[in-house]
Structure 1
Amino acid sequence: MPKKLPFSISPIFTTTQRTNSKCRTTPFTTLIQNPKSSSTSTTSLNFTFLNHLKNQRIDSARAVFNKIPSPHVSLYTKMLLAYAHNNNLSEAINIFHQIPSNTKDTISWNSMIKASIICGDFVTAVKLFDEMPHRNSISWTTIIHGFLSVGRVVEAERFFHAMPYADKDVATWNAMVNGYCNNGRVDDALRLFRQMPSRDVISWTSIIAGLDRNGKSYQALIFLQNMVGFTGVEISSTTLVCGLSAAAKISDFYAGIQIHCCMFKFGYCCGFDAFVSASLVTFYACCKRMDDACRVFGETVCKNVVVWTALLTGYGLNDKHMEALEVFGEMMRFNVVPNESSFTSALNSCVGLEDLEKGRVIHAAGIKMGLENGVYVGNSLVVMYSKCGFIGDALCVFRGIGEKNVVSWNSVIVGCAQHGCGVWALTLFKQMLMEGVESDEITLTGLLSACSRSGMLQKARCFFEYFGQKISLKLTIEHYVCMVDVLGRCGEVEEAEALAMSMPVEANSMVWLVLLSACRVHSNLAVAERAAKRIFEMEPGCSAAYVLLSNLYASSRRWSEVARIRRKMKHNGVVKQPGSSWINLKGLRHEFRSADRSHPLTEKIYEKLEWLGVKLNELGYVPDQKFALHDVEIEQTEEMLSYHSERLAIAFGLLSTSEGSTLTVMKNLRVCGDCHNAIKLVAKIVDREIVVRDSSRFHHFKNGICSCGDYW
């Protein structure tokens, strides 16, 4: 016997009604004429309308909206807000005016004010606010938050002070505190926070996060400690994550451990909360605890792109760039779609490895995902290409960035400066001004560096004065270093010394070091000795100062002074940084030092150098003896110059790369003048472009000339 069903089945096209125990059947056509059926139809229209809005089909939603008889005021507000989010304020206003006056409530007014703010029309927002028949705390908070969101703090303050005290709820106070923090006015945020009549978890989280964002991470941790110990306010996972961010920024390992324990105590299990897990991974990475970061990552059940990116970035922060790129590859294999932050971190690791090949592979992946024109990925690509020696590719990427920010402009200007393209840097700066992008201290550093590497002394003076006086940018030590470098490179050594002496703050060792370097180039021994004395007073162990002064004495053939400097270095335990050059091929770094014979291809490398030596002699090359910094015979001098590290790296590169391709060599010290002359001719002999990046800049050698114009 069949089981009785737990529900009854009624006919589809008839409905049965009971009256006085008698049944009668009502036809379906009669039913749809019943007024109750119209409510069913309205419900269906409402559902369809909301579904279109959810899927951002604005035109379809409006078409359905027009069919709804007497829409509820809530539907009007949803429609006008949808238009606002679509940046169509005129239609939003049109919808607002269609709301019947007897149903137009405070919520609809507040929604229209919010719509005006979303579209950036604050004049309309204020006008509507003034016309409101009744205001509540949400009305005030909406207009205050709107002004704060675009940095118009003064207007927000005016509304906040005009707001009736009785209407100021905790949300309004929180909006002001958070707005002050977001606009860098952290002292005002602290003052207001202390004045609050009551505080909730959002109040505490806002001030903790605000202090951390504004460089007061230690103070943020104190506020977190006070919140946990004394307030009785329930702590959210967001609050603890903000505290963890503060601990990470100042590498306070013990504070971070305590916060980690609090997460367990309050039940925020990192294994199932990707947000918490990512914060912990970042914290441990910032504290140089990558094993702990990996442990947290391994214990995380829900590994989303944020958690993966935290691990990827953490490896990069710890200079473990190969591991970082392996993580990026694992993300792709596990079908975790990288976001802009993932690509940025991966490209930064390519820069750390100086690995152009991997950078190009990641660039290709970014193109497939449509991210190459995004500002963050685009900026990272500009830096990657410029630092790997391909400024032309960097410029191409820069031109493709959709909405460039100040970082975009600074990245390409600094890149041009590094490659000695001073005119390009100045042209880009002119375009930056025309586009209305506000420059900053990094812009000035890039411009002064460009002038320094291109010998544009007068331009540098103009920029230094313009930024320091006309737009009142606070000049930093780095700016003075750049200006002293410009003056020194251009031969104005005495003026450079005078600038170093007259700085508003005491010149550090870097200022005197660039002056000493200029003295080495222009053989100004008197100023060099004074600059070296200053350096030794500040940094007795500065090997670069000893080497520069020793080389200056050696080029003047003052061998007794060279010997004295070397004895002093030995007495003070100062060790000269060894010169080395390297080349990256197929993910491997091949490094060389002068007269190095440790490489597996040593015999072929030296054979190549001997062949190049013959070709150089045929072109009339003669070794420049002033760059031989030892008191030895001429034959030994020529042999020492011939086997400098950059020449060994170039010979290896010529053996290991295809003909006609560009060869890129990196060097940790400044390339010597004799090698510079020789490499120009080598590039002509092999008919290839050879790029050498030394401690000063990039040199592009081609057809017997260098991009620096022999000025570096």
Structure 2
Amino acid sequence: MISSYVENFRLGEALQLFDEMPVRDAVMWNLMIKGCVSCGNLDTGLRLFDEMPEKNVVSWTTVIDALLKSGKFEQAKGLFWKMPERDIAAWNAVIHGCFRNGKVEEAIRLFEVMHDKNVISWTTMISGLDQHGRSYEALSVFGRMVGSGLKPTSSTFSCAITACANECNLCLGSQVHSHVLKLGYVFDPYVTSSLITFYANCKQMQECLKAFDEKLHPNVVVWTSLLTGYGNNGKHEDALRVFVEMNRLGIVPNQSSFTSALNSSSEMEIVDWGKSIHGAATKVGLGKDHFVGNSLVVLYTKCGNINDGILAFKEITNQNIVSWNSIIVGCAQHGCGEWSLVFFSQMAKAGVDPDEITFTGLLNSCSHSGMFRKGRHFFECLSRYAAIEVKLEHYACMVDILCRSGKLNEAEELVKKMPMEPNLTIWLALLSGCRAQMNVEIAERAAKKILAIDPYHSAAYVLLSNIYASAGRWTDVERIRRDMKKMGTLKQLGRSWV
């Protein structure tokens, strides 16, 4: 009865029934503690744990796992070391919790001092290391596991193949694939999905198709991996064909399927395809999902349908930072700077903190809409956000703003004082700004910097030649043409019949 109440989230009735019980054994105490934490009432679960007369390893593990899921790492670790005896499940729970809370080194330390490791222990380490960007170490752990004679499960193989995909290690991944075939895990949809992603990351699409077999895997995860793999390799028509085929076979797309299909439509700038996918997502209840919605905003704004992009943004149920950035950047691309600022104001009211992409969008909005003072204000605001790193993109936007407002000298000074080495984009922004202001001196210095980085950069030659031509310096124009011919970058200049 208590179990039934808990499953239906009727915790109050479960607790009342538990309190009325004359005799309560360890199983009943554990059931009630687990019920409390499952219903989100950790405090009551901890109180019952403290009151429990005879705790067993299940009691301890349940509470420790609940604390780790709640982010209370130190408290969980303290209880773990207080356990009278620790079984493998307790060790595995704490190691998993370490990764969940970003304590990677602590997880490694616990794993190394753990005496009896089972396949779950090894798989947890492989997965945890890979998810924290340490795929090479994850593969090393997988090697140790295989060397110890322990047989990997389908989950282990899936994690190891994912690590190979992240490392783009074709050689090792192919070896793991051979083991998968030998042990018969090729029919597991998650192993196959990982293999498809692995080969796609390694640009081996033919191998993807070999791993994929629609007759063996009528599974949305496998189909979505192939769809995404094609998209990530720039084969967007093939990606959309996969999406059509999976729908024809009655395989209902999931969140990732719709997102990948919309991204391919966006890359090809086919808005009609996007609208069709939008309709299909709405039919299965994913039209307002934030992942799908974010892709819709990008699609519509990229295809020039700014109003549809705004409508898609407003439909998103839980707008996250990506949602706000997508609409701010989309408005900036269409020269709707005032709209970008309005959305930024709404974003602040919603309590969503901006990031680097937000400010790139805002600076671009101000630059393209002629709001130079506001652009300077946003650039100065960047330094106030400790969590935001000022990047080259922000400097490039600010250089563009200063050039468009006629402050070429200030733009050049900003470039000189940058805390990082200016790249081609920065110098090109400065060189482009020189043309409108007819400033040959700064143009020459900017072009020199560009050609020092890339001697074959034809755009720099063309821009400098045009600036010389506008200034009537035809001798320098001819010199630039000779230099371009010598470097093999000569571009056929246009002619006018006027």
TM-score bin (small chain): over 0.9
Give the structure 1 partner of residue 33 of structure 2.
113
CA 1:264/1:568 → structure 2, altered by over 3 Å: closer, same or farther?
A: same
Residue in 2 that maps onto 1:495: 410
CA RMSD of aligned residues (A): 2.4
Which residue of structure 2 lines up, in the alignment, with residue 247 of structure 1?
164
Question: For 1:309 and 1:351, how far apart are their aligned partners in 2?
Answer: 17
Q: Are 1:200 and 2:122 counterparts?
A: no
Give CA deviations for 1:192-211 in whole Å, capped at 9, x if unaligned: 33233332222222222222
1:97 aligns with 2:22: no
Q: What TM-score results when the alignment is normalised by the length of structure 1?
A: 0.66
- Work out whether 1:327 is the aligned partner of 2:327: no
Letter in 1 for 2:6: L
Q: How does 1:46-61 map to 2 (within 5 A)?
A: none
Cα deviation 1:444-474 (Å, max 9, x = unaligned) = 2222222222233333333334343344422
Contact 2:154/2:188 (8 A) holds in 1 = no
- Please state if 1:279 is matched with 2:194: yes
1: distance between equivalents of 2:456 and 2:35?
63
Equivalent in the alignment of 1:130: 50
Out of 81, 87, 99, the residue aligned to residue 169 of structure 1 is 87
User: CA-to-partner distance for each residue in 1:85-144, whole Å, 9 max, x for gaps?
Assistant: xxx54444444434x0412x3343334433443444433333333333333333333333
- Give 1:405 shift: 1.9
Q: Deviations over 1:345-371 (max 9, x none)?
A: 111111111111111111122222221
Q: Segments of 4+ in structure 1 off by > 6 A?
A: none
- Change in 2 beyond 3 A, CA 1:556/1:430: same
Distance in structure 1 (CA, Å) of the matches to 2:29 and 2:276: 52
Who is 2:304 aligned against?
Answer: 389
* C-alpha displacement of 1:383: 0.9
Counterparts of 1:613-632 in structure 2, within 5 Å, are none
> Which residue matches 2:467?
552
Structure 1 unpaired stretches of 5+: 1-74, 579-628, 639-712
- 8 Å contact from structure 1 (residues 509, 535) kept in 2: yes
1:177-326 matched pairs, under 5 angstroms: 177-229=95-147, 231-268=148-185, 270=186, 272-298=187-213, 301-326=216-241
Q: Give the structure-2-normalised TM-score.
A: 0.92
Q: Structure 2 CA distance, aligned partners of 1:380 and 1:185? A: 33
Equivalent residue for 2:371? 456
Does the Cα contact within 8 Å between 2:69 and 2:97 map onto a contact in 1? yes
Q: 1:428 to 1:227 in 2, by over 3 A?
A: same
Q: Distance in 1 between matches of 2:127 and 2:457?
A: 40
Q: Show the 5 A alignment for 1:563-602.
A: 563-574=478-489
Q: Decide whether the 8 Å contact of 2:310 with 2:327 is kept in 1.
A: yes
Give the letter aligned to residue 139 of structure 1.
Answer: S
Q: How many residues align?
A: 497
Tell me the distance in 2 between the aligned counterparts of 1:517 and 1:321. 34
The SS at the match of 1:338 is coil
1:442 to 357, 374, 379: 357
> Which has the greater radius of gyration?
1
User: Where is the helix percentage greater, Structure 1 or Structure 2?
Assistant: 2
User: Compared with structure 1, are the counterparts of its residues 106 and 509 closer, same or farther at alpha carbon in structure 2 (3 Å cutoff)?
Assistant: farther
Q: Which amino acid aligns with 1:357?
A: D
* 1:630-678 deviations in Å (ceiling 9; x for gaps): 6x6xxx354xxxxxxxxxxxxxxxxxxxxxxxxxxxxxxxxxxxxxxxx
1:405 to 320, 326, 335: 320
Distance in structure 2 (CA, Å) of the matches to 1:135 and 1:507: 63
**Alignment check: 8 A CA contact 1:385 1:394 kept:** yes
**CA pair 334-101 structure 1, distance change in 2 beyond 3 A:** same
User: Structure 1's 505 and 102: CA in aligned 2 closer, same or farther, altered over 3 A?
Assistant: same
Distance 1:219 1:503 in 2: 36
Tell me if the contact between 2:408 and 2:434 (Cα under 8 Å) persists in the aligned partners.
yes
